[in-house]
């Protein structure tokens, strides 16, 4: 199981916004330069994040983007789900009706447990916690 660049870059985009003061606007060009992600790709990530209410856009000559709510209220799961889609490691975990063997399947039980651990982990880490880690590492590189 591997996150796509959408998940990884989406998190980096949000970290970049969180590194700025609340309501401090950041352009996609600035994010592109700092994160080495094309502006075109950032456009594809910013739209679902805006729709989800995680990012706020301000238009105009001095416009840009900022977090729509405090970094302490945005989890890694919030971000990943918006840019990647539902976290489903196996189809039957998200929808038990896809397999007639579900009631007796012990393998599915393992996948459900695995999925719950992933969810718990992604839910337990907020953007503000990531910023603390970033600062502790001396403003390290984001991958």
* pLDDT for residue 141: 59
* pLDDT for residue 142: 59
Write the DSSP string, 105-120: -HHHHHHHHHHHHHHH
| Model confidence at 117: pLDDT above 80 | yes
| Long-range CB contacts for residues 130-139, cutoff 8 Å, separation at least 24 | 130/11, 130/15, 130/18, 130/76, 131/15, 131/18, 131/19, 131/71, 134/15, 134/19
Q: What is the mean pLDDT of residues 85-104?
A: 84
* pLDDT for residue 143: 57
Give all domains of the chain, ordered by start, each with its CATH number: 5-136 (1.10.10.10)
């Amino acid at each position: 199981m591997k996150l796509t660049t959408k998940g990884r870059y989406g998190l980096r985009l949000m970290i970049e916004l969180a590194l700025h003061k609340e309501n401090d606007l950041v352009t996609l060009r600035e994010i592109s330069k700092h994160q080495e992600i094309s502006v075109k790709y950032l456009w594809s990530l910013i739209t679902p994040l805006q729709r989800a209410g995680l990012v706020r856009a301000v238009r105009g000559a001095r416009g840009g983007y900022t977090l729509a709510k405090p970094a302490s209220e945005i989890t890694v799961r919030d971000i990943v789900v918006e840019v990647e889609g539902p976290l489903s490691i196996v189809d039957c975990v998200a929808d038990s009706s896809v397999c007639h063997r579900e009631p007796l399947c012990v393998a599915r039980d393992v996948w459900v447990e695995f999925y719950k651990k992933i969810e718990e982990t992604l839910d337990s880490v907020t953007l503000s916690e990531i910023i603390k880690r970033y600062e502790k590492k001396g403003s390290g590189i984001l991958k």
